[in-house]
Chain A
Amino acid sequence: MSQKIQLDKSEVLRYLGHKNQNFDKSIDAVIDGCMDEIVKISRYRYIYKVFDIKIGFESGQSCIELQGANLKLTGNDIYEHLRDCRRCAVMAATLGIETDNAIRIAQSTDMLKAVVLDACAADMIEKVCDLAESEIRSSAEESGYAINYRFSPGYGDLPITTQKSLLAALDAGRRIGLTLTDSSLMVPGKSVTAIIGFTKDYSVKPKKRGCSVCSMRKNCKFRKAGSTCGRN
């Protein structure tokens, strides 16, 4: 996992709420500096496992069981996500605690830097997830499957509390240092978990996950401004 991640400045700007405002060189320099710094300090790691799935019902709700794992996924949205799939990959990715530390420390000396670091980290974890996803795609293709897209606990009606058993199934604490607080917050903060479906049906285009299942739907600053966060 030593592949160097390349951040995308236009994405960083978008996380910072930039549309078409002019800004001066000093801010530009801060952004460039933070992009370098995040790439340098982050110790990103990701893991995934592939499971066969069984779709059933439990207490009136659709429920997907991952074979060989102590993990059940409930709700209509994950059912929609995996209904055409026989297998799925469960993944977890993190930038490591160094990123959290740097953002926290910057807040006591330089809030501008803190905010920009935070945006850079948001872009970086997406890029790390892309890397994990492409690895998952290759492994799926090797066994004759196509994949859909990343669906995370907290999207739609898949409970955020799913994180606990999801991380346990990956042994994420031991393997990548990813932990959970009592309120289901992942620590390190810049971390993502997701479920990706494997399907035999190549005609299934990687479907857009869209805003309709997003838990931030009602408050999203991008939607308020008439766009989307781009993660769809």
Chain B
Amino acid sequence: MDVIKHIKNKRLIFDGAMGTMLQAAGLEAGGLPEVYNIEHPDTVLEIHKKYVEAGADVITANTFQANALKLDGCGYSVQEIITAGVRLAKESGAEYTALDIGPLGQLMEPMGTMMFDEAYELFRQQLAAGERAGADIVLFETMSDLLEVKAAVLAARENTSLPVFVTMTFQEDGRTFVGCDPISAAVTLSGLRVDALGVNCSLGPSQLMPVIDKLLEYSRVPVMVQPNAGLPAIRGGRTVYDITPDEFSKYMSEIAEKGAAILGGCCGTTPEYIKRTVSAVSDIPFKIPARGKLTMASSGTNTVIFDRGVTVIGERINPTGKKKLKEKLREQDFGYLVGEAIAQKESGADILDVNCGLPEIDEARTLTRAVKEIQAAVDLPLQLDSSDKDAIEAAVRIYNGKPVINSVNGKTESMDAVFPVAQKYGAVVVGLCLDENGIPETAEGRLEIAERIVRRAADYGIPKEDIIIDCLVLTASAQQKLVIETIKAIRLVKEKLGVKTVLGVSNVSFGLPARPILNSVFLSAGFGAGLDSAIVNPMSEEIMRSFRAFKVLNNQDSDAGEYIARYADYKAEQQTAAAAKVPAGEMEGVGLKSMIIDGRRDLARSMTIELLKTKDPIRIINEHFIPALDVVGDRYENGTVFLPQLIQSAEAVKSGFEILKESSSAAGGGKGRIILATVKGDIHDIGKNIVKMLLENYGYDVIDLGKDVPPEEIVKAALENDIKLVGLSALMTTTVKSMKDTVAALKEAGSNAKIVVGGAVLNEEYVEFVGADYYGKDAGMTVKIANEVFGHNS
């Protein structure tokens, strides 16, 4: 029987702990167990055989760490270790052999430096070797990061025909080391259509019960469980586990009864544990748990379940009609997008729509980068919004979790372009009720398109719970008669198709005054018809009031807790709405300067607004911002203020600058463009970001290339933008070398930019070593250097 059929019809038993057995056989702490495949094959084979005797159906090859990073320096290649490992597993006489693949040992961006494509390639090497050697299954285990797992699963699917099993490892608090919870894991991995998913390691079976329950509830595929033999304890200098084979097998019976299809052991589970488990579960009838049909979207650490109540989808990251966002996208300045993402989350968004469509930019590249940057800052699931299929696919591929795709419509070519992508990556898809003939006027017409979308999705193997229908809103000022058809259509679609619905509410009020009033009443009407989610501006208080109120009425906000917390001081809030006024007497110009020196952000902001009525931005910068910064800079240098005070003043200027930029995009800046980057290999960038803030305060335009930036990227940006000053930062002695390489690359490419370096380990002596022009010992010094390079010395 092939293994896929096996797990649909009967329980499958894996083996136990290879590491534990090898340590007992003399493996040193920190030694590579995989080397035993070649140097002590008999030891490995004997262990495998013991597990076969114990009754395991599957033997896991001794290949957990056999990736190019971990094997580096051991004297054997990935190919050699894996070939030998799989061969030994097969020789054991087991029914099936699993290629075992653990985490790569480095964290993915943005936490670490591992890139998606790099991870994919490392996994691909292992997979190719394992399949060639004759493995029947690949087991990715002890995983923490869903994005790393995604790279692994795609590498398996795109390069081999091996069935894919994945188990992740959860800690006492129910999350993995990088914060992934079992629901997000089950939802995302089911979407990626792995053949089995589950949990292994870290804890014993009793501690894992809550995790197992969640996996069983949310997985759409068979669930696998490989616990440790209890919790580790040190006895006589050795690690031992605290439950006996007998106790273990009792827990495993309980887990089998819950409906886990695949059982085995992890650390500490010797053949005796497996033997007892096999006999304990033999009488328990095999069952496949009922699969819920929930509509869910996930990030790597958080899942939104549409069936549990109304969902707010934030609409603000969309350049249509937004001048500032267009500008930022053209400049590839993602800091602004991240700010919008955080602000929407704080206002109560559950999911964020992300649209980067502008005719003059490379949308696939921009959307991909936006997804990475936003996922680094907020844990909300994202709705990837584009009409460009390539942009959608590029972004869905590197997205961490189960995304929403916005959108398909009733046209065959639209569905045939997007559904294969959605199917492959397991995305939820928004289906718009329009086709070649436009938006049908009647609710029935829209239902018909919705039906077509759900049917076509099913042809692609996409279940209807992964479709969300948008019945589309028409504008009350232009097609007033048709507005109510949308509400009828929602009711029909819900009733006839049983799918979730979404609506982009704000179109309804286009061209009319007091738009929030119309929007929120229309939204409430939608809720009444069964609307599940809406694409709205979460920063709009009116809209969010409708949501918060409906959540109470819908029994979603239990005991009205959130509502009460928000509105307990409702009256007071209205009365104080006009607060934060500029104190009398501080309207004169001198006030702003002293507010900045004192670091009073709100006042600096409101005073800038006032000053702008009588002064142009350049004068505000030169007469208020810069003199204030100079004072604070001097005080910092002579030790009368300390770092938080310097930063508080810099933040005050920053908020003033935002006002100036809103009034005229030409305001501020213009003093010169500077590149800043934390060099390749280094990921500590807080110092660089302080320097950036201060340079911007002084009117410089900073092109921030981020952290772990390879030399070639810095060279490219320097040449393209004809840069006169490049700032490089490095924190570690090990990455100073990278700094030197970058300087050399810049010079070799013919850049005549001056180079300033900074960072904790640097000092004057290093400047010469790396070939730089200046040492910026702190942010203030770097500003002085910039002033010198650009000739702005006063």
Contact = CB atoms under 8 A, between A and B. Distances in A.
Interface stretch (A56-64, A111-119, A144-152, A197-205): A111-119
Given A98-B179, A109-B339, A21 B645 contact: yes
A220 to B, nearest CB: 9
A96 B299 CA distance: 19
B458 interface: no
B650 A24 contact: no
Contacts of A108: 335, 338-339, 342, 377
A80 interface: no
Nearest to A184: B734
B760 A216 contact: yes
B561 interface: no
Contact of A105 (B112, B377, B761): B377
B651 A183 contact: no
Given A16-B643, A97-B178, A111-B689, A181 B112 contact: yes
B344 to A, nearest CB: 12
A27 B645 contact: yes
A5 interface: no
Contacts of A104: 110, 376-377
A218 interface: yes
Interface in A145-186: 154, 160-161, 165-166, 168-171, 173-174, 176-177, 179-185
B644 interface: yes
B653 to A, nearest CB: 12
B122 to A, nearest CB: 12
Nearest to A31: B644
Interface in B677-695: 681-686, 689-690, 693
Interface residues of B, number: 64
A231 B689 CA distance: 27
B111 A215 contact: no
B103 A173 contact: yes
In the complex, which of the residues B30, B342, B598 has the most CB atoms of chain A within 10 Å of its own CB atom? B30
Give the secondary structure class of B's interface: loop
Given A110-B651, A177-B177, A219-B760, A16 B335 contact: no
Given A98-B179, A108-B335, A216-B761, A23 B735 contact: no
B734 A189 contact: no
Interface in A34-68: 43, 49-51, 68
A131 interface: no
Interface string A89-104: 0000000111011011
A177 B111 CA distance: 12
A71 interface: yes
Contacts of B103: 173
B30 A69 contact: yes
Nearest to A98: B179
Contact of B177 (A17, A26, A96): A96
B683 A187 contact: yes
In the complex, which of the residues A26, A43, A181 has the most CB atoms of chain B within 10 Å of its own CB atom? A181
A5 B537 CA distance: 40
* Across the A-B interface, the 7 shortest Cβ-Cβ residue pairs: A177-B177, A169-B30, A183-B681, A168-B30, A70-B30, A69-B29, A187-B112
10 contacts: A17-B643, A26-B600, A27-B599, A101-B179, A105-B376, A105-B378, A108-B377, A112-B644, A174-B169, A183-B738
